[in-house]
């Protein structure tokens, strides 16, 4: 009887867990749709802005902008790491951890060729080093300064054994672009003051509800050929009236317009990364909680079957005891 009572208590516990995961799934689903719309809505604007910059720019103009100038020597790399604010996102956070560790490892090997180690499976090699706690990611010849966005990014950096340069949290799920300005100011000031030689951002790119891919994107210095987020035709575009963009007149001049567009383009890239992070977080959480609910329901069915068998066995034994006692009496 004690066994059936333990099984019954376990069924109640799993049922309560299923209610929690179901509630979390519904909350994530309600926020997911809006976050996905926000992430998709900004893409045409970002691509249009970068197309304008491509049409305006020329070689001499690009070289005159400090945010497009390549540094002669790379000694310090800045990383802006976007990660979810909470857990329960399936493999999203662990994938970001592996992507960040892989990127740091590749940069160390790129700029420290003497320390290069052959590895047949880079991902497995990184996982083994993380589990063993071996501090193979720190190299003195190349320095990494990391800016974290949200709490899970902070945990990733601590696990990799690095100190964060700055941390940002508390940004709402439906933010204004102005909330990204402090991040923009830090990376631009650090780049112009030669604190950073290159700046990369790592974030989960939203592909679909069930597919989010961690990506690495260099944002400083801005490469003219990589201004567009997606592939854009190299031919001179025409508007709906048939007028070629190259025939437009620019006031006051191309250089001043380009110098105004480039900082705004960088802000848009950061803002887009954050919107994709939010869409990826809620999509991953909804899928993870749905799977957790399904697993809990399946477990309840199995436990109920075991409980019924145990209960039937107990009843059968009681009947046998009663019948045996009446026979001897």
Predicted pLDDT at 121: 52
Domains in the chain: how many in total? 1
88-115 mean pLDDT: 86
Q: Which residues of 56-78 are buried (b: 16+ CB within 10 A; e: fewer)?
A: bbeeebbeebebbeeeeeeebbb
Does residue 303 lie within any of the structural domains? Answer: no
Per-residue pLDDT of 164-197, as tens digits, reads 899 998 877 777 888 899 999 999 999 999 899 9
Rounded to whole angstroms, the maximal C-alpha distance in the chain is 113
pLDDT at 108 over 80: yes
Predicted pLDDT at 329: 55
Does residue 147 lie within any of the structural domains? Answer: yes
| Dihedral sign for Cα atoms in the order 262, 268, 270, 276 | negative
Q: Which residues contact 260 (CB under 8 A, 6 or more apart)?
A: none
Mean pLDDT of the residues in the chain: 81
Helix (H, G, I), strand (E, B) or coil at 233: coil
Alpha carbons 26 and 285: distance in angstroms, whole number = 10
Which long-range contacts link 108-111 to residues 24+ away (Cβ below 8 Å)?
A: 108/137, 108/139, 108/142, 111/74, 111/141, 111/142
Lowest mean pLDDT among 114-118, 138-142, 313-317: 114-118
Alpha carbons 234 and 228: distance in angstroms, whole number = 11
How far is CA 108 from each of CA 27, 145, 191, 236, rounded to the nearest angstrom? 41, 14, 20, 40
**Residue owning tokens 């799977």:** 291
Does residue 34 lie within any of the structural domains? Answer: yes
Does residue 123 lie within any of the structural domains? Answer: yes
The CATH number for 200's domain is 3.40.1380.10
Predicted pLDDT at 61: 59
- pTM, whole model, 2 decimals? 0.79
pLDDT at 130 over 70: no
Does residue 328 lie within any of the structural domains? Answer: no
Does residue 103 lie within any of the structural domains? Answer: yes
Does residue 69 lie within any of the structural domains? Answer: yes
Does residue 48 lie within any of the structural domains? Answer: yes
Phi, psi (deg, nearest 5) at residue 219: -110, -20
pLDDT at 228 over 50: no
For residue 187, what are the domain limits? 12-228+248-293
């Amino acid at each position: 009887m004690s066994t059936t009572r333990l099984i019954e208590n376990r069924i109640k516990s799993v049922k309560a867990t299923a209610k929690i995961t179901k509630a979390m799934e519904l909350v994530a689903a309600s926020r997911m749709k809006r976050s996905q719309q926000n992430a998709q809505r900004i893409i045409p604007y970002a691509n249009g802005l970068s197309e304008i910059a491509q049409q305006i720019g020329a070689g001499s103009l690009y070289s005159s902008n400090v945010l497009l100038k390549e540094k002669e020597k790379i000694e310090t790399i800045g990383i802006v790491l976007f990660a979810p604010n909470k857990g329960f996102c399936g493999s999203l956070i662990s994938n970001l951890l592996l992507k960040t560790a892989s990127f740091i490892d590749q940069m160390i090997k790129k700029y420290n060729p003497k320390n290069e180690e052959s590895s047949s499976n880079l991902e497995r090699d990184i996982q083994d080093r993380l589990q063993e706690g071996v501090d193979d990611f720190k190299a003195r010849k190349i320095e990494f300064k990391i800016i974290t966005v949200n709490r899970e990014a902070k945990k990733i950096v601590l696990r990799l054994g690095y100190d964060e340069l700055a941390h940002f949290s508390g940004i709402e799920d439906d933010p204004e672009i102005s909330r990204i300005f402090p991040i923009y100011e830090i990376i631009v000031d650090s780049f112009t003051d030669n604190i950073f030689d290159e700046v990369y951002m790592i974030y989960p790119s939203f592909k679909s509800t069930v597919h989010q891919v961690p990506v690495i994107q260099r944002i400083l210095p801005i490469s003219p050929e990589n201004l567009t987020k997606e592939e854009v035709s190299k031919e001179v575009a025409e508007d709906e009236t048939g007028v070629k963009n190259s025939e437009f007149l620019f006031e006051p001049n191309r250089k001043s317009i380009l110098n105004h567009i480039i900082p705004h383009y960088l802000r848009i890239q950061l803002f887009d990364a954050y919107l994709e992070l939010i869409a990826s977080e809620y999509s991953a959480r909804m899928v993870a909680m749905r799977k957790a609910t399904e697993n809990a329901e399946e477990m309840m069915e199995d436990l109920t079957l075991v409980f019924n068998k145990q209960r039937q066995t107990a009843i059968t034994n009681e009947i046998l005891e009663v019948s045996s006692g009446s026979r001897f009496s």
